[in-house]
Structure 1
């Protein structure tokens, strides 16, 4: 094959790769509602988890009201307590509108976090934030549905910590994805998003 032919072939392969990357990036961008078509991500879906009382909880238990849902773990040193503390402040700032929303904290640490652990942990925050845990299979299923990144990271002490997505996911009353509260986002910005979510359902 001539050098010119090889050059043309290489250019075609590169263009194909770039096109695939562009499509993947477009389909994974977290904007709009779940299943909303071009440029939106399918975030959310069916799940089965365990509530703080040990009872089974599914996505159906959250339907009818919008939901703010956060994924983390009780041994988290900073991101999780900071996020749940801020969320508690936002709930208070919402006033009566706060009861128009659901709030959930899902632990991705199935080895250490069970229902009682979640109950103790969430007791430090607004009591409307409900802790959810599950088996490895259940947690892998819900994190895949919500496109949540998490990875166990060994520590020098022989234990482990977990890197994970730090955003709070905002879902409408039908379980459709509508946006996020970003870690470190300004209080007023987050409050405005929750007000719109409560108003629009």
Structure 2
């Protein structure tokens, strides 16, 4: 009787582990599902007032981050991380598109982007544009951005904190957030730059 119960216990435990393992694997695949090539064309305006065409995502790797310049904590921390990584890349930083796409077009004018991003790294290119177009681009990347209650122009935005790493074909290869180290980001970028 004890042997039989032990066998049932072992079989039940093994089945649980198998299903749990399959569940975790499915979750991993879901969370790491590649976005693929960003082939929905778009045009935005950079901090210099120039047009940024999505075709520019082709030809060299890119860092793509969505945020806003009035962010009190997460965005500045992430931008500082990107600036550290770009600085460590040295001359190779010019081989990367480093894009900051605003989730706050009402306040993030080209002039505002230029002033704010100048404090971090000259390779960072701020992009803004029509709210509908920006919403469409956020949808491509799965970015959430919700304005929190505030007074007038004094409001905060709850948004997805993810930096995407694209290869030279515009395909998302990896992502990270503010908890990554600058050395980890550099390693990611070097791998993507070396890929054919």
| TM bracket (short chain) | 0.7 to 0.9
Taking only aligned residues, the RMSD between alpha carbons, in angstroms, comes to 2.3
2-side partners of 1:26 and 1:188: how far apart? 24
Please list every run of 5 or more consecutive structure 2 residues that lacks an aligned counterpart in the other structure: 1-23
2:147 matches 1:145: no
CA shift digits 1:47-97 (9 cap, x unpaired): 221111222212112320010011000100011111111111101111232
Does 2:28 align with 1:30? no
Number of residues paired by the alignment?
A: 171
How many angstroms does 1:33 deviate by?
Answer: 5.7
TM-score, length-normalised on structure 1?
0.77
TM alignment of 1:11-90, pairs within 5 A? 29-32=31-34, 34=36, 45-90=40-85
Give the aligned partner of residue 110 of structure 1: 105
Give CA-to-partner distance per residue, 1:25-64, whole Å, 9 cap, x none.
68853344606xxxxxxx6742221111222212112320
Contact 2:35 2:141 survives alignment (8 Å)? no
**Secondary structure in 2 matching 1:120:** helix
State the SS of the aligned residue for 2:146.
strand
Moved more, 191-200 or 76-85: 191-200
Q: 1:97·1:198 contact (CA, 8 Å) conserved in 2?
A: no
* Residue 15 of structure 2: aligned partner: none
Report the equivalent of 2:8: none
| 1:38 aligned residue | none
- TM-score if structure 2 supplies the norm length? 0.79
CA, structure 1 residues 182+33, in 2 after alignment: closer, same or farther (shift >3 Å)? same
After TM superposition, list the pairs within 5 Å mapping 1:153-168 onto structure 2. Answer: 153-155=148-150, 157=151, 159-168=154-163
